[in-house]
Amino acid sequence: MNSKNSVVDFYNRPLHDLRISVIDQCNFRCSYCMPEDVYAHRTFLTKDQLLSFGEIETIVNSFAILGVKKLRLTGGEPLLRKNLPDLIRKISPISGIEDIALTTNGIILPKYAKSLKEAGLKRVNISLDALDDEIFGKMNGRNVKVQDVLKGIYAAKDADLEIKINMVVQKGVNDHQIMPMVQFFKDNDMNLRFIEFMDVGNSNGWNMDQVVTKKEIYQMIQETFQLEPVSRQYYGEVAKRYKHIDSKAEIGFISSVSEAFCSTCTRARLSADGKVYTCLFADKGYDLLHLVREGTSQELLTHYIKQVWNKRVDRYSEERTNLTAQKEKIEMYYIGG
Ligand code: SAM
Ligand code: SF4
Ligand code: SF4
């Protein structure tokens, strides 16, 4: 840590990353995130309830003062937020911000990839859970075809954005797609990450039995492919990474269920309506939107966020059981993945 304002929480974890949800709406209805039967008639935030780009800039300024270096734009589907490249242009010059990334389902990327890159975006994570149209169509809840996401992936590649593919694995739903996905993205020299199905929110009917663990996925892959471990790049890196010995492509694992990484979790989350959350599984956020709209000074805003982080004691994944999964939690589409 080098900033004199850097802050650590109760367990001495620094604040390095901020995930910003720019919108709570989505054009998919993934079964593990916004299941159609639960979200068919849900109302979403109005324009006035959303943080404006200027307000996000003010909040990012405070986080940067406290040591945040990395930003990730997410949602809902972040590309549904109008003029997203304008936001990137506003926040990329902020002193201390070294990296801006985006997580998207990819289908609107062909329209925006170039302008996002020109605005200062460096990296994009694109979610794709299967290569089989029937399985993928069911999982995304809208019958979106694999080809439509692949078009987004190729558009990101053409725009020279760094790409990672995210696959959430659910037992009995798409686990037999693991091997085709590994082969396809190895052939295309792209990095693929497996995300363990998590008990985010209270709508996705999560149960430990539906989780395919990192260990199980790794064993399955290494029966066919030769992998070598890649060392950790920075403190708090979440993915455990491996490289194909005969390709540039990497395989990563986000093992938040089977091998929790709370002890080095440096991430805060900002919801689209301006609440800051100190854990993905939190039930309570701290309202920054009102502070910003009341004209609170940058110094006081920074001080408020510092206090929030100082008293942070979250370590949900380390304590997870089928029982804790029942507790009231914020939904993933709202808090941002
Ligand atoms: N809509 C964008 C997308 O899907 O990439 C961004 C938001 S989404 C909430 C962010 C990431 O969270 C996606 O990669 C998605 O697959 C993942 N995700 C959502 N629900 C999840 C769950 N229950 N378990 C694990 N990952 C989940
Ligand atoms: Fe939408 Fe992403 Fe959630 Fe799927 S995972 S419903 S694409 S926000
Ligand atoms: Fe961080 Fe909370 Fe996830 Fe633990 S459960 S890694 S504290 S977000």
**Which ligand 3 atom is at minimum distance from the Cα of 317?**
5
DSSP structure class, residue 166 = E
> Residue 323's pLDDT is what?
67
198-228 burial, b at 16+ Cβ within 10 Å, e below that, comes to bbbbbbbebeeebbbbbebbbebbeeebebe
SS (H, E, C) 31-77: CCCCCHHHHCCCCCCCHHHCCCHHHHHHHHHHHHHCCCCEEEEECCC
Q: Whose CA is closest to atom 4 on ligand 3?
A: 262
CA angle 260, 307, 17 (to 5 degrees): 45
> pLDDT digit string (tens) for 193-217?
999 999 888 888 888 899 999 999 9
Inform me whether the pLDDT recorded for 69 exceeds 80: yes
Bridge partners, 195 (sequence order): 168, 254
Please report which ligand is nearest the Cα atom of 332. 1
Q: What are the structure tokens assigned to 275, written together?
A: 């609440």
> pLDDT digit string (tens) for 144-180?
999 999 999 999 999 999 999 999 999 999 999 999 9
> Of the residues 28, 72, 254, which should be mutated to test ligand 2's pocket, given the most ligand atoms within 8 Å of the CB?
28
Q: Decide if 148 contacts 107 (C-beta within 8 A).
A: yes
Q: Whose CA is closest to atom 8 on ligand 2?
A: 76
Q: Give the whole-angstrom CA distance, residue 75 versus residue 103.
A: 8
Average confidence score pLDDT of the chain: 94
Q: Which CATH topology does 3-165+266-335 take?
A: TIM Barrel (3.20.20)
Spans of all domains in the chain: 3-165+266-335
Q: Is the CB of 333 under 6 A from ligand 2?
A: yes
- 233 CA to centre of ligand 1 in angstroms: 23
pTM for the structure as a whole: 0.96
Hey, CA dihedral for 274, 278, 280, 281, is it positive or negative? negative
Q: Give the whole-angstrom CA distance, residue 249 versus residue 239.
A: 15
> pLDDT digit string (tens) for 289-331?
999 999 999 999 999 999 999 999 999 888 887 667 677 888 8
- 336 CA to centre of ligand 2 in angstroms: 9
- 279 CA to centre of ligand 1 in angstroms: 15
Q: Give the whole-angstrom CA distance, residue 272 versus residue 22.
A: 5
Please report which ligand is nearest the Cα atom of 268. 3
- 317 CA to centre of ligand 1 in angstroms: 17
> Residue 3's pLDDT is what?
57
